[in-house]
Amino acid sequence: MGVGNYILKRLLNHRTMRSADVTQGYLHFSADELMEPALRIERAILEHAGIIESKKSLDAKLLLALEGLSEEEKRRLIFDLSQNIKVSEMNRQIELSELISKSFIESTNKMSQDDKLAFYQAILDGNKNVEREILKKYNYTHGDTS
């Protein structure tokens, strides 16, 4: 697992409510520093229990599956995977944009009539400072409106 006895002891004795663990006055491990070895140990236990497959096993299965494919099939698979990744990223961007738009609309709906007029005038004039000040007044925190 690549985790020494001392780190293992620290993980077993570590109190999660404390920000740091000090032992014998000379070694110091923060909770963040203990996270990586804890994850390695967790993965090893899950692999040993058969709950998840090891990385080596997955790599071997992937290589075995690819061996039977022609060059054209391999290229097609890589292309399809890259397209799926692009579509997934676009979908995430759309979801984020919709959330920001919804939050923005909710903020403008809360505005007084005078603030709405000033806000829309600031947009037309390109006055970002006025836009930000008005949005800040209504707790809109999603950055620029451009």
3-state helix, strand, coil in the chain (%, to 5): 70, 5, 25
- Containing structural domain, residue 15: 1-68
Q: How far apart are CA 83 and CA 91, in angstroms?
A: 12
Q: Could you tell me if residue 12 is inside a domain? A: yes
Q: Could you tell me if residue 19 is inside a domain? A: yes
Amino acid at 102: K
Q: Could you tell me if residue 91 is inside a domain? A: no
Mean pLDDT by 10 residues, the chain (146 residues): 67 55 55 78 83 82 88 92 88 82 75 85 86 81 51
Q: Could you tell me if residue 141 is inside a domain? A: no
Q: What is the pTM of this model?
A: 0.33
Q: Could you tell me if residue 120 is inside a domain? A: no
Beta-sheet pairing, 20-23 with 27-30:
antiparallel
Which residues lie below 8 Å from residue 127, measured CB to CB, with a gap of 6+? none
Q: Please count the structural domains in the chain.
A: 1
